[in-house]
Structure 1
Amino acid sequence: MRKRHEFIEESRKQWSSEPAFVASMAAAAVGLGNLWRFPYMVGENGGGAFVVAYLLALIVVVLPIMILEVSAGRLSKGSTVQTYRQVNRFGVVYGWFVVLITMAITSYYLVITGWTLGYAVDAATDNLRVFGDFTEGYNSLWYFFAVTVLAAIILAKDVTAIELMSKILMPVLIIVMIGLVIFASRTPGWEQTKDFFFQVDWSRLADGKLWAFAFGQAFYTLAIGQGYLVTYGSFIPRQTHVPRACLIVAGTETSVALLAGWMIFPFVFSLGMEPTEGSQLAFVTMPRVFEDMAGGYWVGTLFFSLFFMAAFSSSLAGLKVMIAAVAEEFRLSNGKAVSLVTLVMLVLGTASALSFTPLEWNIAGEPVLDVIDRVAGGNVIIFSGVLGAAMFCWFIPPEKIRTVLGTQSRWWEWRMYLVGRYLPLVMLIWIVVTYALNQVGITPA
């Protein structure tokens, strides 16, 4: 059996340079969280008020934690479990908790990635359908199986091709999205979209639920508390400037998320649809757009192909977190770890896939996929991210993190430790105050 350090050394050879690392991490961060989840979260949470809360959460809290997680992974040069084991003797329990969260999220993420593949195939065969028609049969299940097996094949062999795909993917995707935003600006719904984003109902910022959703989305899209950043940080090239790399990735993902909103909502309003459509928003809207667009066949094929590649890159990143942990902790070869993780994904993801088939599997009347997304992709990853940051900041001396940041400036070190050490206390006070107010019959705004 292979030893732990042998697996790590092989994994860290993947990223050839800082640009390659940045492109690969951006491809992992920019995916369904931006193109699928961000628009529907904006639609369900009041438009501009949600965007303001999301940006504040991202800049003030989430970005420092992102840099901290990447730095910790670079320091430990191990999987998620190994990284937290080195932090504290109880860290291994938390490390496996993070892997389990990633397992839950990736299980339904692969289902949605299957939707994007299905839509890419439909667009290429000139058979693009709205979401209700697409899910009339068992497309969700078959395409979920297809992308899971495809991911396993790639990860079992050589993933260095992800570098090349990432470098090409991001620029082309952004160019296509900018073109669609320009096209959307000529639709009747453009003015309504501007109002939706820029006419902020500031009173909504006093709503604790809005902030919970905003923080959840920020943690989700930057993969905080999910092991992605720790794992990718362990592969990082020696000379990488970690804050700079994280700023580029965060800026890219935020730009793509906002572009997705400006791309989708003009069509939503033009077609007389409601922005509160939910998790199906992009899949309901875009097929109708391409159906009425001149050259819609070519644009639709390109868009959904890129949509699939972005989602697939993120799926590979999630699987990589689990494979790294399983291979390292159980001393398995990469092939055996891939097989085991793939089997688990096929079992877990089937429940989410069947929730959008004629069987309509649900929990309390809500599709299984939506329930897992709401729970694992919301408060759970906020808790995970905050707890992980606290462990790093209370048990790892600042001077150790400083050695792997790639910069002599203390600015980022100060911000990371300020957020990591005291955010848990702030959150605890907020929970206690909210509970106390509820007990006396006062509901926070």
Structure 2
Amino acid sequence: MTEAHLTREARAQWSSEPAFVFSMAAAAVGLGNLWRFPYMVGENGGGAFILAYLLALVIVAMPVMMLEVAAGRLTQGSVVGTYRGITRLGTAYGWFVVVLTIVITSYYLVITGWTLGYAVDAFRMRVAEFDDFTAGYNSVWYFLAVTMLAALVLLKGVRAIETFSKVLMPMLALLIAGLVGVAMTTGGWGDAMAFMFTWDAAALANPGLWFFAFGQAFYTLAVGQGYLVTYGSYIPRKTNVPRATLIVAGAETTIALMAGFMIFPFVFTHGLDPGAGSELAFSTLPRVFEATTGGAWLAMAFFFMFFAAAFSSCLAGLKVIIAAFAEELSLSNARAVGATGVLMLCLGLPSALSFSPVQLTVAGMPFLDFMDQFGGTNVVIASAVIGAGLLCWVLPPSKVVYALGAKSGWWSWRIFIVGRSLPFAAVGFLIWQLLAG
């Protein structure tokens, strides 16, 4: 790949600020909110987790989100190039982020395969419960199909993602709102609201609750995973970063809560376990559609949109990897896409096999669940803390203010307070967790 080609790729831009907002929202809304948020709420006690999550989101995750977008805009390169331009340690951290994104995306593709399988079954008028769906090798076949489809889209570059996102987000929001309306008519609505919005104050003294809440807040906004830096590198010159990221964060939070409103009423109506884990949505929704008038049509619409949202998350993760491979290894876009596709096929297969007759497990849980607990929470938190510390302690404040594109310095002041204190707060939290344990 020639130097000129690399420069053109690095300077590619979203067509406008709204295009960035739609694309970034679609990237993170997918699985982080529709799949992961409800099951994390269910596993961590409901209302107490939601309160901790919202506090973590507003106080810490949103300023770090703005910081990462601004860093990407400032350097206009891959995540590796961005952090290398800031400090000598940045190259190692940049590749750490790429590896983390590789791990997360490998099992994201498997879950996206589930959504595609359910969409196909819905159009065939035979949506199965999750145990039946995974009794054979559906997880493997649909994982392979989604990986190849994603490679084809990414060969088209940034504008293909933009067009896809502009169509997806409004349709997804309308469909979820409609399903919430159906959920409000169920007998479990009151129990679901009590589960989501009441809590025992003593639960907030549990450091484990806060650990998972911060993990979900970072996960929801794609903090520490390279998405924000990579997508930020394509932002147009006149974009106001605080305004754009606030809109994205608001959309993320709204969709996450609506996903809870959509799923938990049916969980309680049908006497299901809210702590069912990663398959919560896939165990609940087939029963919902079966018991609902016109459920077959709702199933078609929902699972198609669920697939589209999940697929957008995969595209974002793959774009982080492809951009790093193309710029750091001097590969053409096509070769970077091909290399990334092969890597995903190899690394995603164990997660696919964990929900098949092979039932591959680690530490007593499916391999996919283990990867999500370890990579999706533990490592994401560590990555966010390290990244924020590097950016705020090394990058000159004046450059961040310039990259934010905002007239007010209030956000830059808050960003630097959060970013510089986060590593010390993390050490304090670990001490609290050790003492509480």
2:358 alignment partner AA:
L
| Secondary structure class of the residue paired with 2:85 | helix
Distance (whole Å) between structure 1 residues aligned to residue 432 and residue 65 of structure 2: 28
What whole-Å deviation, never above 9, does each CA across 1:149-182 have from its counterpart, x for those lacking one? 0011111234423222211211111111111111
Superposed counterparts of 1:75-154, under 5 Å: 75-154=74-153
Pair 1:2 & 2:2 matched: yes
Look up the match of 1:289: 288
1:174 is aligned to 173
Could you say if the C-alpha distance between residues 239 and 46 of structure 1 is closer, same or farther in structure 2, counting changes exceeding 3 Å?
A: same
SS of the equivalent of 1:13 reads coil
Match of 1:391 in 2: 390
Question: Structure 1 CA distance, aligned partners of 2:192 and 2:432?
Answer: 36
**One-letter amino acid of the counterpart of residue 75, structure 2:** S
Determine the C-alpha separation between the residues in 2 that align with 1:334 and 1:173: 30
Distance in 2 (CA, whole Å) between partners of 1:374 and 1:170 is: 27
Q: Alpha-carbon deviations, 1:39-69, whole Å to 9, x = none?
A: 0000011111000000000000000000000
SS of the counterpart of 1:275? Answer: coil
Decide which moves more: 163-172 or 227-236.
Answer: 163-172
What does residue 324 of structure 2 align with?
325
Q: CA deviation at 1:203?
A: 1.2
CA deviation map 1:73-92 (0-9, x unaligned): 00010000000000101110
Corresponding residue for residue 72 of structure 2? 73
Q: CA deviation at 1:293?
A: 1.1
What amino acid is aligned across from residue 2 of structure 1 in structure 2? T
The residue that corresponds to 1:156 in the other structure is: 155
Q: Where do residues 20-419 of structure 1 align in structure 2 (5 Å cutoff)?
A: 20-419=19-418
Does the 8 Å contact 1:107/1:345 carry over to 2?
yes
Aligned-residue Cα RMSD (Å) equals 1.1
* 1:212-268 C-alpha deviation (Å, 9 max, x unpaired): 000000111111100000000001111100000000100001000000000000000
Read off the aligned partner of 1:297 and give its amino acid letter. Answer: A
Q: In 2, Cα distance between the equivalents of 1:350 and 1:184?
A: 35
Q: What's the offset of the Cα at 1:433? A: 4.2
CA contact (8 A) 1:12 1:236 kept: no
| C-alpha deviation, 1:72, in angstroms | 0.2
**Distance (whole Å) between structure 2 residues aligned to residue 239 and residue 177 of structure 1:** 32
Deviation at 1:357, TM superposition (A): 0.4
| In 1: Cα distance, 2:168 partner to 2:88 partner | 41
- CA distance in 1 between partners of 2:6 and 2:209 (Å): 42
Q: Give the Cα–Cα distance (whole angstroms) in 2 for the partners of residues 427 and 204 of structure 1.
A: 20
Moved more, 190-199 or 385-394: 190-199
Distance 1:277 1:434, change over 3 A: closer
* TM-score scaled by length of structure 1: 0.96
Q: Distance in 1 between matches of 2:170 and 2:200?
A: 34
Aligned counterparts of 1:162 and 1:328: Cα–Cα separation in 2: 19
In structure 2, what is the Cα distance between the partners aligned to 1:401 and 1:9?
24
- CA shift at 1:2, angstroms? 2.3
Q: SS at the partner of 1:248?
A: helix
Question: CA shift at 1:9, angstroms?
Answer: 2.7
TM-score, normalization: structure 2?
0.98
